Chains A and B, each alone.
Chain A
Amino acid sequence: MSFRYGLRTFALELLMIAVALAFLFPVYALVTLSLKDPQQIAASPLSPPTSPTFGNFGDAWERASFGSALLNSTLITVTSVVLLIAVGSFAAYFIARRRTGLGYGMYVLFLLGIVLPFQLGMIPLFKLVDDAGLLGTYQGMVIFYTGIQLPFTIFLYTGFIRALPSEYADAALIDGAGHMRAFTQVVFPLLRPITGTVLILNAVFIWNDFFTPLLYLGGSAKETIPVRIFSFVGQYVSEYGLVFAGLVLAALPILAIFLVLQKYVIKGFSSGLKG
């Protein structure tokens, strides 16, 4: 059945565009605020900028040492995400293939991680990282993120793997391949869509995380972007123009990645929903 773009569809298109415009209001606010100097923000924060200043972006970049913060954020995010995918997919494969007993027990154990409030373990974990000499290091942050995002990662991967027929892997095993090769060469490539999902959702979380980098990296040269941007927010003196300009700069890389991965993200969720 071929499709005709009729009047009804056009009306729907207009409606959705109107909704999108309403949705965009806060984004408009963000961009507008980033283009104003303190006087303009005081006078009328959300009116369209009549004389936009791009100075905020330059200032934010310089004063937040944005270049080095960008490097730090990227290093930590990329490494953590790669590890999460590597470690999480293996564990999820194990859990998904054993539906009862050990597999189920482990599944519940990891789900606990999504439910537990972060505050419970915060101080003991900090002590642990400190004793291990990993404060102020990239490794410390990567291990931290891998640990706390594993439950979510495994939650997503397990559902998707359960939907895959086991014939492919079994065929490879019968042919004499070891479990490692069966997984990496047969199963994992089929997981590309969910891997895209895991990638973008974890990347967004890690990229924007503020408190733990403050706690573990504060004062070092390895501070991430959110830590640097927040340093513009004081109690008495806040430079919101800089903050929002910094936010725009920080959001651009992640949005770019989302655009690229968009196809994988949606496909990933769809296949991940069976069982």
Chain B
Amino acid sequence: MLPPWWFAVPALLVYAVVVLYPTGTGIVYAFTDWTGIGDWSFVGFDNFTKLWDDDAARGSVVNTLLLTIAIVVVQNGVGLLLALGVHTHIKSRALLRVIFFAPAVVSPVMVAFLWKYVYNPKPGEGLNGLLGAIGLGSWRQDWLGDPDLALWSVAFMVVWQFAGYSMVIFLAGLESVPDNLHEAAMIDGAGRWQRFRHVTWPLLAPAVTVNVMLSTIGGLKLFDQVYAATNGGPGYASETLSTVLYKQAFVFGNYGYSTAIALVLALFVSAISLVQVQILRGREVTAG
């Protein structure tokens, strides 16, 4: 009763041609000194030892991890809250769903361009202006110019764009919790918080898995928004592995070295994803 092998052939073919073969060939460059144009020669593991000693790259690993943790925690936290708020009987829930998801529909680079206007440090403009208008003037910041704040400003922007994406996934999870379970719990005298903890939350585990995995991988590989918003600055304050990788390849002309970084990043992401899958899938339970 199992489907025949040729069901998977078209997918495998296209995937092999477009992804596997070029990536396999591309990995070779990690062991060369290629600048991206012209001739090159093999240098063995030199690029990898160079990476080990590279302060800028090592510093960017910290930023990458911080950024990812912030995104995974806050984006999914906000997404969950939005989902809980929209999964009620309020009248505007259909419109609200669209409003919260809409930012995910715009290209990330353009979102960064837009937010540079929002993050204008002048007191009367953009976010600072809004804060001043509602009496929170003391919260005004130099969002992108303050080296301690720049990375978090980018994180905030990413969360804004994709909280609705996470919300949609959580909503689906919430809608799959059968009403009779809720009712049974209510009849048993459970309060709202208890109902959430013991009925809703366990059944949301699959949604949590999908959201956490996708946002982790996305966060670790995040490039467009950081590069467009801060270019890794001010100074090197918001450099991530992806911006370092890109600059080495296309700004500095160290293509071979950049490929080595990409390879290390790929291994890094794979390892984290594998661990995540094991942990998260252990928690999943079906509604029976």
Chain A interface residues toward B at CB < 8 A: 1, 3, 5, 9, 12-13, 15-17, 19-20, 23-27, 29-30, 33, 44-46, 87-88, 90-91, 93-95, 97-98, 106, 109-117, 119-125, 128, 143-144, 146-148, 150-151, 154, 159, 166, 169-170, 173, 179, 183, 204, 208-210, 226, 229, 233, 240, 243-244, 247, 251, 254-255, 258-259, 262, 265-275
Contact = CB atoms under 8 A, between A and B. Distances in A.
25 contacts: A9-B90, A17-B96, A23-B160, A46-B126, A87-B11, A97-B2, A98-B2, A115-B273, A120-B259, A120-B266, A122-B22, A124-B26, A128-B22, A147-B14, A210-B107, A244-B114, A251-B106, A265-B168, A266-B168, A266-B175, A268-B172, A269-B171, A270-B171, A270-B176, A274-B206
A25 B19 CA distance: 39
B101 interface: yes
B125 interface: yes
B245 A44 contact: no
B39 to A, nearest CB: 15
Contacts of A113: 15, 19
Given A243-B110, A266-B171, 7 more contacts: A16-B93, A16-B96, A115-B266, A122-B26, A179-B7, A255-B105, A273-B209
Contacts, number: 250
Binding site of B, secondary structure by majority: helix, strand, loop or mixed?
helix
Interface of B: 1-5, 7-8, 10-12, 14-15, 17-19, 21-27, 29, 36, 82, 85-86, 88-94, 96-111, 113-115, 117-118, 120, 125-127, 129-130, 160, 168-169, 171-173, 175-176, 183, 206-207, 209-210, 217, 221, 242, 245-246, 249, 258-259, 262-263, 265-266, 269-270, 273, 284, 286
Given A117-B266, A270-B175, A274-B286, A94 B8 contact: yes
A16 B90 contact: yes
B10 A20 contact: no
B114 A26 contact: yes
Contacts of A146: 14, 18
- Most chain A CB inside 10 Å of its own CB: which residue of B110, B125, B245, B258: B110
B97 to A, nearest CB: 7
Contacts of A114: 217
B25 to A, nearest CB: 4
A262 B98 CA distance: 8
